[in-house]
Amino acid sequence: MAETNNMELSEEKIEENAEFAEDAAEDKGPKANWYVVHTYSGYENKVKANIEKTIENRHLENEILEVRVPMQDVTEVKNGVRKTSAKKMFPGYVLINMIMNDVTWYVVRNTRGVTGFVGPGSKPVPLSDGEMKPLGIKTENVFINFTEGDTVNVIAGVWKDTVGVVQRMDMGKQTATIMVELFGRETPVEISFDEINKANY
């Protein structure tokens, strides 16, 4: 089958593209960038799930930070009824925030459903700040002094003066999910990094 053939890379092709990955790593250093990956139509969510599973299995959380399938709300009117549904902004594409090196390139490129990175001659090219802004991706990095499991104080925003424990961190969105007490119950709340500070106890 043509799809099977496309999925199988020759050793020369792997070496050739690995060189591209090395070049990108040297150019960018250890900094994570957003890259675009092309997938088979309809495979976007499967690719996202497969890469996230590999990240977990191979403990690559510090190298592949986030996998995203950008969605947008689309309103349609049929038979006089207005219906809003979420649809993929870029069918056939997945965004990945990662540090480009041989390992991360190989993991992503050989994920089932991935046909290649977007870039000249298959060389992965990171998105520019201007390309990321319409996608709602923050480009500035905020210094943080806390991690998962830490108790933090909320210093700004709606939840100011609240104390909570960090349950999860999203480096791509630069937010932390913390547990706060709401109506006598522990409730998860997502808060921007710049609104949180580690509690000093």
The DSSP line for 126-181 is: PPPHHHHGGGT---SPPP----TT-EEEE-SSTTTT-EEEEEEEETTTTEEEEEEE
- Looking at residue 27, what is its pLDDT? 46
CATH of 151-198, one of 2.30.30.30, 3.40.190.290, 3.40.140.10, 3.40.50.9100: 2.30.30.30
Higher-confidence residue: 100 or 147? 100
Q: What is the mean pLDDT of residues 136-162?
A: 74
Note the pLDDT of residue 134.
64
Lowest mean pLDDT among 35-39, 55-59, 94-98, 147-151: 147-151
50: pLDDT strictly greater than 80: yes
Average pLDDT, the chain: 77
Nearest CA to 194 out of 141, 133, 134 is that of 141
Question: Left, alpha or beta for 183 (phi > 0: left; psi -120 to 50: alpha)?
Answer: left
Distance CA 157, CA 178 (A): 14
Check whether 131 has a pLDDT greater than 80: no
Contact present, 191 and 154 (Cβ < 8 Å):
yes
The domain made up of 2-135 has a fold known as Alpha-Beta Plaits (3.30.70)
What is the predicted pLDDT for the residue at 137?
61
Q: Which residues contact 96 (CB under 8 A, 6 or more apart)?
A: 34, 35, 36, 37, 51, 64, 66, 67, 68, 108
pTM: 0.53
DSSP 33-87: EEEEEEE-TT-HHHHHHHHHHHHHHHT-TTTEEEEE--EEEEEEEETTEEEEEEE
Band the pLDDT of 143: cuts 50, 70, 90. Answer: low
How many Å apart are CA 84 and CA 72, to the nearest integer?
10
Given this model, what pLDDT does residue 172 score? 65
CA distances from 12 to 8, 67, 102, 110 (A): 12, 28, 15, 14
Query: In the structure, what pLDDT confidence band is assigned to residue 136 with cuts at 50, 70 and 90?
Result: low
Domain extents in the chain:
2-135, 151-198
Q: Is the pLDDT of residue 170 over 80?
A: no
What percent of the chain clears pLDDT 70, i.e. is strictly above it?
75
